[in-house]
A and B are shown apart, each in its own frame.
Chain A
Amino acid sequence: MIRVTRDEFDASALLEEARSGEEGAVVSFLGIVRNDGIDRMEVEAFEEVAEQELSRIREEAIAKFGVTRVDIIHRVGSLSVGDRIVLIVVGASHRKAAFLGCEYIIDRIKESVPIWKKEYTAGGSRWVPGEHE
């Protein structure tokens, strides 16, 4: 499943869904709004392109590492400290492929998926700089 959504998601349920017995290893990554002295964060996406790009990254991970299951959910909208931003669930026959695939996907998301974050503090607001400026 690939989804960019305004809605909260149930990470535990998605992880449980991945325990189908088809894969021997499931690795997940959960990105969370960190308490950097912010009140909230606004996450913005070019949604149509973001979903297209996430699908492309899923296909890359399947081709490179032989993973067999990839779910990616990314939130947009107003988030508070502790909220989930992104969940990646990667299943494979063996652990090595699942770990590598999961790391590859989060690194590629930070590189190419059109999503931005603006942090709001008591003193004002700031755009979070990309890692690939």
Chain B
Amino acid sequence: MLITVHIRAFARFRESFGDRFDVEVESPATVRSVMLEVGKRNGQGVRDLIDDGGNVKKSVIIMVNRERVTGEARDEHPVHGGDEVALYPPVAGG
């Protein structure tokens, strides 16, 4: 079954993939499956997002429903239909 996930992308990821859009992924979905789908939108930009092993790069910060997802199991973190997944590079404010 396909589910719809709402994406927010910022800074260089916004430039590569767009700022707000939806993706459809197979359920059960994970941070990895959602990011692989996002990556399909830009053949160049995907290199900033996914490494050669198919893992989400550590330099990509991920939020699911406005909460940071961190740790070794991050790529397997579950994503549900209607969730908002945000991706952004390391911050540089102040």
Query: CB within 8 Å of B: which residues of A?
Result: 31, 43-46, 48-50, 52, 74, 85-86, 106, 109-118, 127-133
B94 touches A46 (CB 8 A): no
Chain A residue at minimal CB-CB distance from B59: A133
Chain A residues with CB under 8 Å of B86's CB are 46, 49
B91 to chain A: which residues have CB within 8 Å? 110-116, 130, 132
Structural contact, A127 and B92, CB atoms closer than 8 A: yes
21 A-B residue pairs with Cβ-Cβ distance under 8 Å, sorted by A, are A43-B93, A44-B14, A45-B93, A46-B8, A48-B66, A86-B93, A110-B93, A113-B91, A113-B93, A114-B61, A114-B91, A115-B92, A115-B94, A116-B10, A116-B92, A127-B11, A127-B12, A128-B92, A129-B92, A130-B91, A132-B90
- Contact flags (1/0) for B64-78 with A, using CB distance below 8 Å? 001000000000000
- Distance from B58 Cβ to chain A, minimum over Cβ atoms (Å): 10
Pair A129/B11 contact, Cβ less than 8 Å: no
Q: Please tell me if B18 contacts chain A, counting CB pairs below 8 Å.
A: no
On chain A, the residues within 8 Å of B89 by CB distance are: 116, 127, 130
Interface of A is mostly: mixed
CB distance from A48 to the nearest CB of B (A): 7
* Chain B at the A interface: SS class: loop
B residues within 8 Å of A by Cβ?
8, 10-12, 14, 59, 61, 63, 66, 86, 88-94
Given known contacts A48-B66, A49-B66, is B94 in contact with A116 (CB within 8 Å)? Answer: no
Nearest CB in chain A: distance from B25 CB, A: 22
Contact A46 B10 (CB under 8 A): yes
Contact of B66 among A52, A111, A116 (CB under 8 A): A52
B66: chain A residues at CB < 8 Å are: 48-49, 52
Are A116 and B93 in contact, with the CB atoms below 8 A? yes
A110 contacts B11, CB within 8 Å? no
Q: Which residues of B contact A74 (CB under 8 A)?
A: 93-94
